[in-house]
Amino acid sequence: MNKLQNNKAWLFVLPVFALVAFNAIIPLMTVVNYSVQETFGNNEFFWAGVIWFQDILQSERFHASLGRQAIFTASILAIEMPLGVAIALTMPRKGPWVSVCLVLMALPLLIPWNVVGAMWNIFALPDIGFLGHMLNAIGFDFNFTRQPGDAWFTLILMDVWHWTSLVVLLAYAGLSSIPDAYYQAAKIDGAGSWAIFRYIQLPKLSRVLTIAFLLRFMDSFMIYTEPFVLTGGGPGNSTTLLSIDLVKIALGQFDLGPAAAMSLIYFLIILLLSWVFYTVMTRNEEQ
Amino acid sequence: MTLTLKGVTKRVGNVVHIHPTDLTFEPGSFNILLGSTLAGKTTLMQLMAGLERPLEGEIWFDGRDVTGMPVQQRNVSMVYQQFINYPNYTVYENIASPLRVARAPEDLIRQRVGDMAELLRLTPMLDRLPGALSGGQQQRTAIARALVKDADLVLLDEPLANLDFKLREELRDELPRLFADRNCIVVYATTEPTEALLFGGNTATLFEGAVTQFGPTREIYRKPNSLLSAQVFSDPPINVLACEKQGAHFVDAEGARWAANGPASSLLDGPYTLGIRPHFVTTAATGADPVPVSGRVMVTELSGSESIIHFAKGGKTWVSQSHGIHAFEVGAEARLHADFAQAMYFAPDGALAAAASARA
């Protein structure tokens, strides 16, 4: 009797196993499979061991992409986190303007990523784009398709425009969950607005900001669509972030082995860094 | 250091939060704002503190008009129903924070915080964060923070409401002791009449944004000025009965008759509303002239030593508070006795006409 029940239970769990296998384990194992083999076509594969991993880890090209990726992610985090909190602080807490602000804030998040890329590409074009044209009109020699610095400027501006809203919405939700009594108590103590921010709002926000930070870190580290549409990784290789580089290797050169090895390394870097950030940030909270 | 509210009102949009209110609190007094949720207790406290500005009227403190003065410039402290402490400060730093804002010297801070921690039994927790404390300890930290700076006005807004029963009783016993040797004005908001009776002092009964009565707590309990004040200051709710005085007797619609004695005997003939507290309606007959009352039992609440019986009488809900355990079936007929010699009589407009235990 007992045994029968146990067997029945398997039937209920099996669909979940199948689902997880199809959407996670099988694709991942395919990549693992490619990463340890060599092929010369004809669907013939040879064991290659860890050669591809060694190649990737020693390749200048990978180091350069990783460096660009790190600079990109660090820059947008450094801008979006404080900016998001600052905007959330200025948003009204009550009244009819709340919904207006929230809808305006949510708008960029609702636009498909490749549309964002296309929008900013056109927006920043030096001849016909509003931004590019205006910058040139006021005396800047701005051309994001030719000058790496301008390409980076546009890229970061685009990401800040697109994703700061997420931080704003999360921080705003965190701020609205602080009871009024905290502000009153601080007022009675004679605390100024900086003290209120530093000793009440920031500690109360630490949880949602941890989430916002992790989401923005992971998303920006994986970013592909927008820079691909905006600059295509150029000019030269100057905005070739990790994912763009990966697609070039996998689909441009069709080097499946190195591409698979790079995917796994890429994945492990994100996993490791997310874990490190999460551990550090939650430990601070516990202290 | 008297605090005086003169005709203070507060409205938000078209909603009246506080009707014109006059109150005077003397230094060293313990004052209770008694009223149900949304009666205006918190708004009234915020007006006193200067967190809100009254729409009309003036607030005077220590002989000065402080109506528009922001809270930072007044010497006020407040404890809330929620446990409000700085989340990433230790208990020590939390208690010290008002002194730090006032730029007190370090050795004075250490001494005052030590004294406060001793008084509120927080000494072993001084190095912990509020999040690591129990609810009672968190609230004691908030109380210590409110007391440490020697405020002229201490506002306690239902400070015990979020605590569990045992801790509430504990802190309830401690509170009067904490203020005993201080010369500040204490204002304590509560929804519970029993709490008001325990603390004594003065009580202001609030109903829908209006103070219905203000005076010494026990006097208000014994001699409420109106049916409304009596209802605010009664838990379980006071029982009411429409009756008519005919000569030396009262009669009600059901034909019951009882003698008018004490102050009630000198009332003019006419219609009155009788109010009698639940503990004078009992299973056992008490008093000189018990009147039988009966009705269908709606629910019986049993506590360790007494039964609270809700029953329907003449279209109204009546409550009896009797000693001992009396397990009435729902729907059964409860035959009880009311000691109407202890009743209060209110005129048709609600004003008190005669109260049995009042010494006029």
What are B31-55's pLDDT values in tens digits? 999 998 888 898 999 888 888 888 8
pLDDT of residue A285: 59
Asked if B261 and B303 touch (Cβ cutoff 8 Å), the reply is no
Nearest to B87 among A181, A187, A204 (CB): A204
B-chain CB neighbours of A179 within 8 Å are 82, 84
Q: Class of the A60-286 domain? A: mainly alpha
Domain boundaries, chain A: 60-286
Residues in chain B: 360
What is the distance between the alpha carbons of residues B215 and B212, in angstroms, rounded to a whole number? 11
Nearest to B77 among A188, A191, A199 (CB): A188
Residue of chain B nearest A183, judged by CA positions? B84
CB contact under 8 A, A185 and B80: yes
CA distance A183 to chain B (A): 10
What is the distance between the alpha carbons of residues B292 and B290, in angstroms, rounded to a whole number? 7
Asked if B190 and B33 touch (Cβ cutoff 8 Å), the reply is yes
CB contact under 8 A, A188 and B76: yes
Nearest to B98 among A184, A189, A200 (CB): A189
Residue B31, classed as helix, strand or coil, is strand
Token pair in block for residue B19: 């009707």
Nearest to B72 among A185, A187, A203 (CB): A187
CA distance A199 to chain B (A): 6
Q: What is the number of helices (H) and of strands (E) in chain B?
A: 8, 21
B-chain CB neighbours of A204 within 8 Å are 87
- Amino acid A177 reads S
Residue B327 has φ and ψ, to the nearest 5°, of -90, 90
CB contact under 8 A, B86 and A200: yes
Residues in chain A with pLDDT < 70?
Answer: 1-6, 284-287
CB contact under 8 A, B82 and A190: no
What are B198-228's pLDDT values in tens digits? 888 899 999 998 899 999 998 899 889 999 9
Sign of CA dihedral B145, B146, B150, B151: positive
Residue of chain A nearest B103, judged by CA positions? A190
Contacts of B281 (CB under 8 A, 6+ apart): B239, B293, B318, B319, B320, B321, B322, B336, B337, B338, B339
A-chain CB neighbours of B104 within 8 Å are none
Sign of CA dihedral A210, A213, A214, A216: positive
Residue of chain A nearest B145, judged by CA positions? A189
pLDDT at B327 over 90: no
- Amino acid B112 reads R
Interface confidence, given as ipTM, is 0.72
**Residues of chain B above pLDDT 90, percent:** 19
pLDDT of residue B357: 56
B-chain CB neighbours of A203 within 8 Å are 86-88
Token pair in block for residue A245: 């580089």
pLDDT at B347 over 70: yes
Establish how many alpha carbons lie within 13 A of residue A126's alpha carbon, considering only the half-sphere containing its beta carbon.
13
CB contact under 8 A, B77 and A204: no
CB contact under 8 A, B78 and A190: no
CA distance A203 to chain B (A): 6
Token pair in block for residue B229: 């004040």
pLDDT at B359 over 50: no
CB contact under 8 A, B87 and A200: yes
B-chain CB neighbours of A95 within 8 Å are none
Nearest to A29 by CA among A16, A40, A20: A20
What is the pLDDT confidence band of residue B289, given thresholds at 50, 70 and 90?
confident
C-alpha triplet A246, A252, A254: angle, nearest 5° = 85
B197 - beta bridge partners? Answer: none
What is the distance between the alpha carbons of residues B90 and B86, in angstroms, rounded to a whole number? 8
Token pair in block for residue A2: 């007992």
pLDDT of residue B33: 92
Mean pLDDT for the stretch of residues B84-107: 88
Residues 181-200 of chain A whose Cβ lies under 8 A from any Cβ of chain B = 181-182, 184-185, 187-191, 199-200
What is the pLDDT confidence band of residue B358, given thresholds at 50, 70 and 90?
very low
CA distance A167 to chain B (A): 22
CB contact under 8 A, A184 and B78: yes
Residue of chain A nearest B90, judged by CA positions? A287
Which of A188, A194, A196 has the highest number of chain B CBs within 10 A, making it the mutation to test binding with B? A188
Contacts of B192 (CB under 8 A, 6+ apart): B235
Asked if B118 and B129 touch (Cβ cutoff 8 Å), the reply is no
What is the pLDDT confidence band of residue B360, given thresholds at 50, 70 and 90?
very low
The dihedral formed by the CA atoms of A9, A13, A14 and A16, expressed in degrees to the nearest 10 = 170
Establish how many alpha carbons lie within 13 A of residue B59's alpha carbon, considering only the half-sphere containing its beta carbon.
24
What is the distance between the alpha carbons of residues B16 and A25, in angstroms, rounded to a whole number? 63
Q: Does A178 touch chain B (CB under 8 A)?
A: no
pLDDT at B147 over 90: no
Asked if A196 and B86 touch (Cβ cutoff 8 Å), the reply is no
Token pair in block for residue A205: 């926000």
CB contact under 8 A, B82 and A181: yes
Residue B232 has a CB neighbour count (10 Å cut-off) of 27
CB contact under 8 A, B80 and A181: yes
CA distance A200 to chain B (A): 6
Residue B96 has φ and ψ, to the nearest 5°, of -75, -20
How does strand A37-39 pair with strand A45-47?
A: antiparallel
Token pair in block for residue B119: 């008084």
A-chain CB neighbours of B76 within 8 Å are 188
Token pair in block for residue A48: 């290659």
